[in-house]
Amino acid sequence: MATSASLILPHDLSPWGMFMAADMVVKAVMLGLAFASVVTWTVAVVKVLELFMALGQARRGLKILRQASGLLPAAGALGTAKTTTNRLVRAALAELEASRGLPAEGIKERVAISLSRIDAYATRRMQVGTGLLATIGATAPFVGLFGTVWGIMNSFIGISKAQTTNLAVVAPGIAEALLATAIGLVAAIPAVVIYNVFARAIANYRATLGDSSSEVLRHLSRDLDRQDAGIVVPSLRAAAE
């Protein structure tokens, strides 16, 4: 019996050896989960860089807005950089220039709509890729479990064909099947953790943009009050372009 078991047991019980000896379906599951893990870490690296740069720009823009005395000085301090904060200021200036002579309340309402659209677009763009992490985190354990169930099913079929209950005969197949669950967890756990980290970071980014929008509306209200008080405000056309 020992000789028979030694012929059935694979020579290599390492993860790679078990992968090579696994059923084709289990192999496909393992490869899919490994690919999902690679996608998770690729998205993580890209989004970390993107969030770091965007959040830094948003915080610098918010600082400039808080220190500025009006929309025009803020636009001058922000320059021509293609940042979300700059787009907020330029949108307010463009609407203010297009609505000269119209009631202030209507101007504020239209500017608020424009700013909310810019905020929503920036937030959606920052969320690109995070849904993939959520999908991997939610499905990878079940995909790995499917591979495990399939492998164990084949192991029991092998028991029936061999007409033996010797654990040494079926243990390799069960180990190969359990490896699929392990790979599924390796793919899912980082995806869930990274997704939660990104969700908090994006919420922080959105809050910073919300503060910037509030500062833009504050400057807009002040500039409109200056116009109502008869204080000459320079032409906004150059800054709005």
Task: Give a yes or no: residue 47 inside a domain.
Answer: yes
Find the domain containing 35 and state its range.
23-240
Task: Give a yes or no: residue 18 inside a domain.
Answer: no
Split at pLDDT 50, 70, 90, the class of 116 is very high
Task: Give a yes or no: residue 148 inside a domain.
Answer: yes
Dump pLDDT digits (tens) for 169-197.
666 667 777 888 888 899 999 999 999 99
Dump pLDDT digits (tens) for 124-172.
999 988 989 999 999 999 998 888 888 888 777 766 776 666 666 666 6
Instruction: Give yes or no for a contact between 137 and 224, defined as CB atoms under 8 angstroms apart.
Output: no
As a whole number, mean pLDDT of residues 206-219 equals: 92
pLDDT at 2 over 90: no
Task: Give a yes or no: residue 14 inside a domain.
Answer: no
Question: The whole model's pTM is what?
Answer: 0.78
Task: Give a yes or no: residue 9 inside a domain.
Answer: no
Dump pLDDT digits (tens) for 49-64.
999 999 999 999 999 9
- Which own/partner contact pairs does 67-70 have at CB distance under 8 Å and 24+ positions apart? 68/219, 70/219, 70/222, 70/223
- What domain count does the chain have? 1
Q: Which residue reads 């999902």 in tokens?
A: 36
Task: Give a yes or no: residue 12 inside a domain.
Answer: no
Percent of the chain with pLDDT over 70: 78
Residue 7, C-beta contacts closer than 8 angstroms, at least 6 positions apart:
none
Q: Which residue reads 């610098």 in tokens?
A: 60
Burial of 45-82, coded b for 16+ CB within 10 Å and e otherwise, reads eebeeebeebbebbbebbebbeebebbbebbeebeeee
Task: Give a yes or no: residue 156 inside a domain.
Answer: yes
pLDDT at 123 over 50: yes
